[in-house]
Amino acid sequence: MKKMLSVLLSCVMCSTLLFTACSAAPEETAGADTQAQIEQILPGRWMSSTIDGEPAVANEKTVFYMVSPSEVYSSVSRVNENRSPWHAPSLTDFTIDGNVITFTSSPREGISIIREYTITDISENEFTANFIITHVHDGESSSEDARVVTFVRINEDYSSDIIGTWEGSCTSEGSVFDDGQPHRWEYHNDGTYVYYDQDGDEWVVHNDGEYYVNGVLLCTRWSEDEADNREWWEITIDGDTMSWTALRANDDGTTFTATFEMTRVAE
């Protein structure tokens, strides 16, 4: 009887060990499987589309482009109360650890910006992540509130197509951009641009500044009255026609969509 009981206990112990080992294995491989899936899907260009479940306004959008996990380019143009980063598309320190992807940039000595996305859902053309950004200044760090961000895949890149001179006007009647006048924009290869107003038959320089295009996102900045000004537009270019659109926020929190249409000026 004792011998039979001993055998039964041994069988139970073996079964328990086997069950524990089998249960642990999927947890060990889940992280590896997730990371492998992310590394397979992410190559390409991605732009943020929603923040906390709401459509992202143009000035909150960001774009990154992954060639491979070891070669990732990102861009940021934001205006905050204390910080206004401007990063044209450039090679970025990037890591993937399980389902967490991290971008680290150092705009100048002693300052680092860490953007961490914990991916909660991913498909071929969209992923959702919990996002937190941390600023490190001379060893002291501060983080902004966590947000939920959705990115969508972008298949177009108009960074070369935009080069040249364009003429057009605002097509969103009644918006703050609608002055009823034609304007010109001249985009150069070196990342600078010139903006013109029309005065009779003459085109007069209104301002000039910097720009970049990352995928479909056009970001510009210029100085006027000693102030740093920014604009953000989603663009499409079809031959000699260019369209701009941007979701903007009013001071009261409501939103509106601004649009422009323009054509290329023959050289």
* Structural domain for 181, as ranges: 164-264
Q: Which two tokens stand for residue 153?
A: 């895949």
In this structure, what CATH number is given to the domain that contains residue 137?
2.40.128.20
Indicate if 107 and 137 belong to the same structural domain. Answer: yes
Indicate if 75 and 120 belong to the same structural domain. Answer: yes
As a three-state string, the secondary structure of 119-162 is: EEEECCCEEEEEEEEEEEECCEEEECCCEEEEEEEECCCCCCCC
Residue 6 lies in a domain: no
Residue 31 lies in a domain: no
Work out how many domains the chain is built from and give that number.
2
Tens-digit pLDDT profile for the chain (267 aa)? 344 334 333 443 334 433 344 433 333 334 567 999 999 999 999 999 999 999 999 999 999 999 999 999 999 887 766 667 788 899 999 999 999 999 998 877 888 889 999 999 999 999 999 999 998 887 788 888 899 999 999 999 999 999 999 999 999 998 889 999 999 999 999 999 999 999 999 999 999 999 999 999 999 999 988 888 999 999 999 999 999 999 999 889 899 999 999 999 987
- From its phi and psi, is residue 185 left (phi > 0), alpha (psi between -120 and 50) or beta? beta
Indicate if 71 and 117 belong to the same structural domain. Answer: yes
Q: Which two tokens stand for residue 86?
A: 């401007």
**Contacts of 54-60 spanning 24+ positions with Cβ under 8 A:** 55/247, 55/255, 56/149, 56/247, 57/246, 57/247, 57/248, 57/249, 57/255, 58/232, 58/233, 58/234, 58/246, 58/247, 58/248, 59/230, 59/232, 59/248, 59/249
Q: Which two tokens stand for residue 139?
A: 């060893």
Q: Which two tokens stand for residue 198?
A: 């029309």
Question: Which SS3 state, helix, strand or coil, does residue 4 take?
Answer: helix
Provide the pLDDT for residue 109.
80
Provide the pLDDT for residue 242.
98
Question: Which SS3 state, helix, strand or coil, does residue 253 take?
Answer: coil
Indicate if 186 and 146 belong to the same structural domain. Answer: no
Provide the pLDDT for residue 92.
92
Kind of pairing between the strands at 93-97 and 100-108: antiparallel
Indicate if 150 and 180 belong to the same structural domain. Answer: no
Residue 59 lies in a domain: yes
Residue with tokens 């071929």: 124
Residue 24 lies in a domain: no
Contact at 8 Å (CB) between 199 and 206? Answer: no
Residue 137 lies in a domain: yes
Indicate if 172 and 133 belong to the same structural domain. Answer: no
Provide the pLDDT for residue 86.
83
Residue 73 lies in a domain: yes
C-beta neighbour count of 187 within 10 angstroms: 20
Residue 14 lies in a domain: no
Indicate if 141 and 205 belong to the same structural domain. Answer: no
